Structure 1
């Protein structure tokens, strides 16, 4: 229907059908035909999409055109997303050169056959070659030609790096560890280590491109699993051979200034790196011994994320006004609570941004320092030098501070010095790990803080969570027939926002804090004074079309 005698897509027939269905204007069609004279190698759908961008009568972008054509020719359409494809398994079945020559990409393989994505639905010459070499049925799907090139090139490069690293390091880990133990940097090592360097560079670069907050490298019995946490959920990315996993782990430990030879104890490290793209990133590393090797988790610090204001964090309206009122206090303790990864640090930095002025001395003690701020005097925890949170706060108190931010209250000693700082005329901001705002009171009691000191110092607690936000490109898309959304990969979510529960201490609440404080009773009293729970905040976000009820229940269950 749409093919030329050589089985390529026929541009004229495509344009005729799009015009007949009123999906394109005649002016755009003529412009496409004129441009085709100088772009003979360009895929017809890419050419149409590029010139239809400013056509108000055009109803399809490139993904939409591909989906439209797939329906016409009776082939399934597949939006290519490396995070949702088992490319590591399928890529080894077809050589990169063969795939690029025919414009195809293997996307899945199992006992029933191999699935191949193509942007030329009538081209079939390569099918016989694959059927003969693989001995399996071929299942075809239609995909975006630009995505096939991009994903194919990236996966081909990655497959070559993994193969090269596996060949050189699969049986040579002892030599690699000896090399690293001698503090020889792999950046200047012999060419045999270049594959590991390239793999690590790719892993970090791709994590940034995919907006990952954490990288998990997990050893298994016969492979190593690479996963990224994106918008709060983990996504499998690639499965490395065991030897490659060990080499990549050693490389990262070396870069993070961790003891490469030590594999029996958990370790922490920090890495500042410049990516091949030129972007600088900060990462915090944590290793954990497991039966199959060391599991490594890398937390990515994005300075742009930490520079968000309250509104972009999702804190607004009456709750924002009450929070800003708390920040205007001259002394006392303000806590932000929630589990790891709930956005507590972002809220603290936004609060410090609001407080920063030439008239105020703001000091922080952090582990690690997640964002260098010109208005703050920042102190890094250093366990090897016996510089913990408690000792650090004592040192900061001798620096004439007005506001002190403590990265986390995690033990009795830190809690006691934080309370003392709040009692002696300082505003103290810190974090705790509790499920809700009222539980912060009993948590302080569990840490050994006297009840009368909690009454005297605590002025407010804000609990928070992060929920995924609905993809605005999907919600406001002017071209509803465009197919899968490249921004959210068809998940319907892109980015996250905060849910907040703000407890402002009142005389009534303080009267009910005793040695046997009942969290449920405190919560009821606070609700009577205007406390809105995390779930109620989530309901407001759902009503505003920001997120979904299922997403709120997922994080507030």
Structure 2
């Protein structure tokens, strides 16, 4: 029989009973779906395993509906459905309240008091840090602004976003719409960290507020750049803000300048011998190549070498496509496009700098200008390469001849960045026999570095004395690492090496001579970081393994 037939033969009272039951089912289903979305949004905002609790709430409701239709007694099915969904919600509230502070607990005495007085009380500002707009004015809300609850919410949400970037020690934060959520990716110590997706509703409030303070016109629909400054605990950092269009909506990239570029040579991780050698090189005319793969800290090293010079006694200059940061007492020239590099370089040379940093060399004309200046002044040239000898080959190729290229060349400094183990939660362990033997030999070659212990990132979750999982490590947020340090290899370009190059000696002979002249290699220096307890075997294998391209 069809449902229409049943309704036709049923009495009016039975028809209204069926309609009432269907209405109750529909109402309960809508309430269940609404509560499930609220649980999902709340868990995402608090980073409380959103997928787990959303799934649990949905499954509980689905089971409730199944039981409701299977049980002949309507009221009994209704009660069972409510108990299932209610049990899931109560479980979430109990777990949620155990993870948050008293002010944000649900159904607590403070919560009920807040609800009773919310209509009469103005919205509360949540100032976690200070931040300044694109022209250096502190971002504060006026008395009139405090009457606008929407503006206060925008301010609070932006504060929360910037605080999370700084708290996670992110060098970059990439924020992009992804459906009904917002995907956030942090670059922390050179590795990508993906937190829980954020709320699209919150992001739509943050975006116009953040862009306006960064000095970006959000109405153009084009890629635009701006900047802000963030100050947490009297430690101000500059942030570059870039917004670019995408099909899903505006995508924003935050770049923390101080995390991306370091200008203090003493903080780079360079060993004392190499640092002293570089300091001596700069005092005489010549050319130093600073090399490494992309994102290996080459710009930081070049800036640090330049900043080490006395800017009151020497005229310091840079020629760069775009300056990574403003350097005090250094004249910085930007050429923006590769075609303008020779012209901009020639203009800088006419000002007679004592030390000049050039960020690239693409052709023979630029190489000739660098060689000519390096005969009288000191020049630092950054060039991409994996190791010192490939960098030497690349430089000779740009000069279209070895004799002219190597005449002013004094040395080649190559580097990589490796993550530093978190000092608060790193753990000692006994490596396998082959690795232990390898490290023992390296320790002997490096003069007995370290105390013989080897460390790694935590291999198991951190537990308290009762076996309960501890909150994330406050130092590293359970990444196992905190910060990065440089690994440096230096190739001194001696007269003997230049003679071998001019005679077109094979690479093996060049390497053998370089070793006797005191050249170092990245892998050997990275092993030293393991022996000092600064990093792990796994990290060195990831970054500096011999033969790694």
Query: So what's the TM-score if we normalise by structure 2?
Result: 0.61
Partner of 1:215: 173
Partner of 1:113: 56
Paired residues of 1:186 and 1:193 also in contact (CA < 8 A): no
2:330 match: secondary structure? strand
Q: Deviations for 1:254-294, whole angstroms, at most 9, x for unmatched residues?
A: 66666756667xx5634143558776432345566666556
1:488 match: secondary structure? coil
Partner of 1:321: 276
Q: Alpha-carbon deviation of 1:226?
A: 1.2
Name the CA shift for 1:243/1:472 in 2 (closer, same or farther; >3 Å): closer
Paired residues of 2:176 and 2:251 also in contact (CA < 8 A): yes
C-alpha distance in structure 2 between counterparts of 1:253 and 1:399, whole Å: 39
1:212 match: secondary structure? coil
Partner of 1:283: 239
Q: Which runs of 5+ in 2 are unaligned?
A: 1-34, 58-80, 106-138, 429-461
Partner of 1:457: 408
Q: Is 1:487 aligned to residue 475 of structure 2? A: yes
Name the CA shift for 1:511/1:112 in 2 (closer, same or farther; >3 Å): same
1:509 to 497, 514, 526: 497
Name the CA shift for 1:456/1:231 in 2 (closer, same or farther; >3 Å): same
Q: Is 1:343 aligned to residue 297 of structure 2? A: yes
Q: Alpha-carbon deviation of 1:498?
A: 1.0
Q: Alpha-carbon deviation of 1:528?
A: 4.2
Q: Which runs of 5+ in 1 are unaligned?
A: 1-88, 115-127, 154-184
Paired residues of 1:303 and 1:371 also in contact (CA < 8 A): no
Partner of 1:431: 382
C-alpha distance in structure 1 between counterparts of 2:482 and 2:85, whole Å: 43
Q: Is 1:381 aligned to residue 330 of structure 2? A: no
Task: Let me know the Cα RMSD of the aligned residues.
Answer: 4.8
Which range moves more in the overlay, 502-511 or 191-200?
A: 191-200
C-alpha distance in structure 2 between counterparts of 1:410 and 1:241, whole Å: 45
Q: Alpha-carbon deviation of 1:152?
A: 6.4
1:318 match: secondary structure? helix
Name the CA shift for 1:206/1:489 in 2 (closer, same or farther; >3 Å): closer
Paired residues of 1:131 and 1:138 also in contact (CA < 8 A): no
Which range moves more in the overlay, 216-225 or 227-236?
A: 216-225
Name the CA shift for 1:548/1:335 in 2 (closer, same or farther; >3 Å): same
C-alpha distance in structure 1 between counterparts of 2:365 and 2:102, whole Å: 54
C-alpha distance in structure 1 between counterparts of 2:189 and 2:321, whole Å: 23
Q: Alpha-carbon deviation of 1:222?
A: 5.5
Name the CA shift for 1:91/1:441 in 2 (closer, same or farther; >3 Å): farther
Q: Alpha-carbon deviation of 1:207?
A: 1.2
Q: Is 1:301 aligned to residue 257 of structure 2? A: yes
Q: Alpha-carbon deviation of 1:551?
A: 0.4
Q: Deviations for 1:415-453, whole angstroms, at most 9, x for unmatched residues?
A: 443333213x11011312211121112222444554223
Q: Deviations for 1:39-59, whole angstroms, at most 9, x for unmatched residues?
A: xxxxxxxxxxxxxxxxxxxxx
Which range moves more in the overlay, 271-280 or 344-353?
A: 271-280
C-alpha distance in structure 2 between counterparts of 1:496 and 1:151, whole Å: 37
Which range moves more in the overlay, 454-463 or 411-420?
A: 411-420
C-alpha distance in structure 2 between counterparts of 1:550 and 1:254, whole Å: 44
Name the CA shift for 1:469/1:274 in 2 (closer, same or farther; >3 Å): closer
Partner of 1:64: none
Give the count of matched residue pairs. Answer: 413
Paired residues of 2:360 and 2:381 also in contact (CA < 8 A): yes
Q: Deviations for 1:48-98, whole angstroms, at most 9, x for unmatched residues?
A: xxxxxxxxxxxxxxxxxxxxxxxxxxxxxxxxxxxxxxxxx99940797x9
Q: Deviations for 1:274-331, whole angstroms, at most 9, x for unmatched residues?
A: 5587764323455666665565433211189734343x32112333332333233x21
Q: Alpha-carbon deviation of 1:377?
A: 2.5
Name the CA shift for 1:356/1:108 in 2 (closer, same or farther; >3 Å): same
1:397 to 333, 346, 349: 349
Paired residues of 1:112 and 1:137 also in contact (CA < 8 A): no
Paired residues of 2:317 and 2:333 also in contact (CA < 8 A): no
Q: Alpha-carbon deviation of 1:467?
A: 1.0
Q: Which has more radius of gyration?
A: 2
Query: So what's the TM-score if we normalise by structure 1?
Result: 0.60
2:356 match: secondary structure? strand
Paired residues of 1:337 and 1:344 also in contact (CA < 8 A): yes
1:233 to 191, 196, 199: 191
Partner of 1:362: 316
Q: Alpha-carbon deviation of 1:510?
A: 1.9
C-alpha distance in structure 1 between counterparts of 2:508 and 2:519, whole Å: 13
Q: Deviations for 1:387-427, whole angstroms, at most 9, x for unmatched residues?
A: 9544333222222311112244456654443333213x110
Paired residues of 2:168 and 2:477 also in contact (CA < 8 A): no
2:289 match: secondary structure? strand
Which range moves more in the overlay, 433-442 or 404-413?
A: 404-413
Partner of 1:13: none
Partner of 1:334: 288
